[in-house]
Each structure stands twice: as C-alpha cells, then as structure tokens.
Structure 1
Amino acid sequence: MSADTGTERQPPALVSAGERGALRIADRVVAKIAAQAVREALAPLHPDAAPPHATVVVRHDTARVRVLLELGYPADIGARCAAVRRQVVERVGALVSMEVPEVTVHVERLHLTPAPGAPDGRTR
C-alpha cells in the first residue's frame, strides 16, 4: 500500500529509563521496614520483650500494617501505641513512598518494670 495520505510516520518517542517499567515492593520488605519503625518508636525495648513483628498487605501504593509488640509496664500504653503508628506511617512513607491509612497495633504482653530502688523478688 503506497497510498500517500500526506502524513509521515513519526518514529516512536524515546522514553527515559525512569519512565519505563514498574516497581513492585514485596509485602515482606514493607513489613521489615514497619517492624524497624516500631523498634525506633519504642527504643529502648524492654529487655524481656520479644522483637516487634509486622505484617503488611500492599495494594497499589497503599500499605495496611498490623503490628504485634510487647511493652514495659507501667507506661502510657495509648501514647506508646500512637507513637508507633506515627513512626510506621512516617518511615514507610519516606522509604517506599506508600500511603499508610491504617496501622493496627496489638499489644501482646506487658512486662513489669520495677520501680527504681524497689526490692527484687518477694519481701516479708
């Protein structure tokens, strides 16, 4: 077909490397970032506490995070959990550019922190 329509075919436009392809960050990677953010928010962790654990569900550019942690007691549990939520949202957003609309915090255990000068063990 040699029909001349008066328009020339243009070569495909070159697309820069930064514009091609797609990026997928695995849920487990985001979960590790979230768990590290929890450690940062709670530092220092109670010596008897298990390390925080996070699970994540990623959909598009949104991550929903569930965190399991142990806290020292007595403490302002609500304030500690709020600090965890803020830190997880900030770190996940900064490191993987994902929105975090939900951070569910499960406090699995409280560890008694003795008052300074309190005797250890039983007293009579």
Structure 2
Amino acid sequence: MATDHLAPTTEHRTAEGRVAAADRGSTVIADRVVAKIAAQAAREALDGVPAAGGTPHAMVTVHQDSARVRISLELDYPSDIGRQCGAVRRRVAERVETLAGMDVPDVAVLVERLHSAHTRGATLGRLA
C-alpha cells in the first residue's frame, strides 16, 4: 500500500498553530487499484484492441510509494512482440506514476499466448 506522509512545517500550520486539515493523515492506495490502472494502461498501449484471447491482467506489489507490476497478456501473431512489450512497459509505468503517484521501477510483461489469424478464426467459429 502507498502512503503519503507530510511532516507539518510552519507553512502547513493555521494561524492558531494547528496543522491544516488538508495536510493531515495519509493516502493509501490498494494493490488491486494499482493493478486496474496497470491493466487499463496495457490495453491503451495495445491500441485498445486485445488479442482474440482476452484482455491484459496485472498483478501488483506496492511497498510505500513504489509499485512492482507484472502484466500478463496475449498478442496477435505475427507482430513485433518486442515493440509491443516495450510500449506496454512504458505506458504502464507512466500511467501508474501519473494516476497513483508511485515510482514504478519494474514492469514485467509476460506474453502467455500468441493468436494467429487461423486460431482467431477457429475461436470465432466455436463461438458462433
């Protein structure tokens, strides 16, 4: 979980010497919230079009103001796997830093499956 602690300084105190309400307490962001941000960011990096197998899933470990992210996804084949994984890593790190205010030192991308036009057609045929 992430926490945001501010040490009250003189500029954070009211005229009566109390700490201003906006400067008290802490902010905690649950791992599952950061995981949702990461999964959405991975979808965005893949142009919002998931492979035939499904949408990206994220597992996150948060420690203080740092998040380690693991993204599992499926990609279309043939494609530039390295480029897509790099785009996912960059987008996930950027969105988690922006939306959750956390440092993201590690984004691991696990490609679980590749889907070719042939397997997409077979999957669609079974669904019809």
TM-score by length of 2: 0.77
Aligned residues between the structures: 105
User: What is the deviation of 1:20?
Assistant: 0.2
1:79 to 2:96 alignment? no
SS in 2 for 1:51: coil
Q: How does 1:1-124 map to 2 (within 5 A)?
A: 13-43=17-47, 44-46=49-51, 48-113=52-117
Which residues of structure 2 form unaligned runs of 5+? 1-15, 123-128
Task: Please list the CA deviations of residues 50-97 of structure 1 after superposition, one character each: whole Å capped at 9, or x if unmatched.
Answer: 111000000000000000000001011000000000000010011010
8 Å CA contact 2:50, 2:56 repeated in 1: no
Q: For the residues of structure 2 that align with 1:17 and 1:63, how far apart are their CA atoms? A: 28
Q: Which has the higher helix share?
A: 2
Of 65-74 and 15-24, more deviation after overlay is shown by 15-24
Higher Rg: 1
What is the TM-score normalised by the length of structure 1?
0.79
Shift of 1:49: 2.0
**Percentage identity across paired residues of the two chains:** 57
Q: Which runs of 4+ in 1 moved over 4 A?
A: none
Coordinate RMSD, CA, aligned: 1.8
Structure 1 gap segments, 5+ residues each: 1-11, 115-119
